[in-house]
Amino acid sequence: MARTLISGGTVVSATGRTTGDVLIDGETVAAIFAPGQAESLGVTADRVIDATGKYVVPGGIDVHTHMELPFGGTNASDTFETGTIAAAWGGVTTIVDFAVQKTGENVHESLAAWHEKAAGNCAIDYGFHQIIGGVDEDSLKAMTYLVDNEGVTSFKLFMAYPGVFYADDGQILRAMQNASETGAMIMMHAENGIAIDVLVAQALARGETDPYFHSLTRPAELEGEATHRAIQLAKVAGNVPLYIVHMSASEALEEVAAAQHAGMNVFAETCPQYLYLSLEDQLMQPGFEGAKWVCSTPLRTKHAHHHRDLWKGLRMNELAVVSTDHCPFCMKDQKELGLGNFSAIPNGIGGVEHRMELLYQGVVNGEITLERWVETCSTTPARMFGLDRKGAIAPGMDADILVWDPTKRTKIGVNDKHHMNMDHSAYEGFEIDGKVDTVLSRGTVVVENDTFTGSVGHGRYVKRGLSTYLH
């Protein structure tokens, strides 16, 4: 087994930083040595990576991606191959994607279909959550089976998208009761979809068809209301672990913070788009341009305090995780399906490549610490979703490592750094004070010297355990 020594770097964890050398033996971390210790002990390695002046951090874990997702009459434009290669370019070494069961479909068949899409096609390791779009006796039994046998320990429900994914309060309660018995995590898309559909129909009837009406018809109040309702249902179901996905609004964050203060097992994530992008600067671009940034939950106004509150939530641990909700669509032939009707624009932004970069800029800007960057992008996602060998650099852990150069710069854009299978970038022109230097997945160098050196098929399916926050 090949041995690699990453020498001279600053090893950063969720709890601190230290100068040291990381020894990798095969696919796992073997030891961390104090400066000079490896040399004095006569430690040998097949390869030495000089990380002097750089940060050595656990590889990023993005627990919310949608590769090849069928949505709105098309499919997300990244395959598991293109999407995981782009992820590697961004310092991400594990994704957790979503197997999709729509109303009327079979859960086991849907999971098998996602395994088929991903198997042999991933450049980095991957796991699955299961979307339950139709809660009935069969799907409830399947939930228990997946936890016990398949390493799928989290289930996503939707309070939005009636007729496709929507579950009513009674169905949500039943799924939560099931999760309470198995220890699984319930992930919730918290928006009041029934009310939103009324607002959308009314807007279209008034001739309000431009992309920015997508945000105006999905008001923050309906995200806050649905978050509150999900929390109350989780309480009734026995304080079942609840994880609110892609949070964009102050109103929703307040509900989560209040539940946490009351001792409930409620967690939440946000995404870079909700920290940096806005209704006015992106969605309201002239003509159809704003379609690039149509996603749900939507971008919010910069004139409220959503951005500020979400950064505060990350500092205070009211928000536990940053993921991307990576769901890319090209403008041509995909987003254009919604020309003249904002409700027909496929919902999604591509970002799997840029999360580590964008959140590092939050460190530079003084919003979060270096340790919090590692915690929200790597360590907490691993603990939250039972990735027991990921998310930390320690002996016995998978050697998933990002060497980050804080002295270099990254310019994001289609003609700059852009490897996702999209014809535009949601972060076109953004400049980051830092750069992905070297990326290792299970001890194999997959990115170095601005070159992808990995291989498709290297990525393995990871069976996940229960959330280690609660078990």
Contact in structure between 268 and 318 (CB atoms under 8 Å): yes
The model's pTM is 0.98
Q: What integer pLDDT is reported at residue 72 of this predicted model?
A: 78
Contact in structure between 448 and 442 (CB atoms under 8 Å): no
Q: What integer pLDDT is reported at residue 71 of this predicted model?
A: 85
Q: Span 297-306, mean pLDDT? A: 97
High-pLDDT (> 90) share of the chain, %: 97
**Spatial separation of the C-alpha atoms in residues 90 and 436, rounded to whole Å:** 7
Helix/strand/coil for 104 = coil
pLDDT tens digit sequence for 357-388: 999 999 999 999 999 999 999 999 999 999 99
Helices 137-145, 107-118: crossing angle, 10 deg rounding: 50
**Spatial separation of the C-alpha atoms in residues 268 and 318, rounded to whole Å:** 7
Return the CA Rg of the chain: 21
DSSP 369: -
Token pair 């399947």: residue? 142
pLDDT tens digit sequence for 324-353: 999 999 999 999 999 999 999 999 999 999
Computed from CA positions of residues 187, 363, 411, 436, in that sequence, does the dihedral angle turn out positive or negative? negative
**Spatial separation of the C-alpha atoms in residues 365 and 279, rounded to whole Å:** 22
Q: Span 141-147, mean pLDDT? A: 98
**pLDDT at residue 469 is higher than 90:** no
The pair of structure tokens assigned to 360 is 């590092």
**pLDDT at residue 73 is higher than 90:** no
pLDDT tens digit sequence for 75-124: 999 999 999 999 999 999 999 999 999 888 999 999 999 999 999 999 99
pLDDT tens digit sequence for 4-24: 999 999 999 999 999 999 999
Contact in structure between 254 and 318 (CB atoms under 8 Å): no
Q: What integer pLDDT is reported at residue 163 of this predicted model?
A: 87
Alpha carbon 185 to its chain's center: 15
Q: What integer pLDDT is reported at residue 115 of this predicted model?
A: 98
**pLDDT at residue 463 is higher than 80:** yes
Q: What integer pLDDT is reported at residue 215 of this predicted model?
A: 98
pLDDT tens digit sequence for 200-214: 999 999 999 999 999
Contact in structure between 317 and 263 (CB atoms under 8 Å): no
High-pLDDT (> 70) share of the chain, %: 100
Name the strands in the sheet holding 266-270, side by side, starting at the edge strand that comes first in the sequence. 60-65, 92-101, 125-132, 154-158, 185-189, 242-244, 266-270, 321-322
pLDDT tens digit sequence for 153-199: 999 999 999 988 999 999 999 999 999 999 999 999 999 999 999 99
Q: What integer pLDDT is reported at residue 103 of this predicted model?
A: 87
Q: What integer pLDDT is reported at residue 382 of this predicted model?
A: 98
**pLDDT at residue 471 is higher than 80:** no
What value does the mean pLDDT of the chain take? 97
**Spatial separation of the C-alpha atoms in residues 75 and 407, rounded to whole Å:** 38
Query: What are the chain's domains?
Result: 59-384 (3.20.20.140)
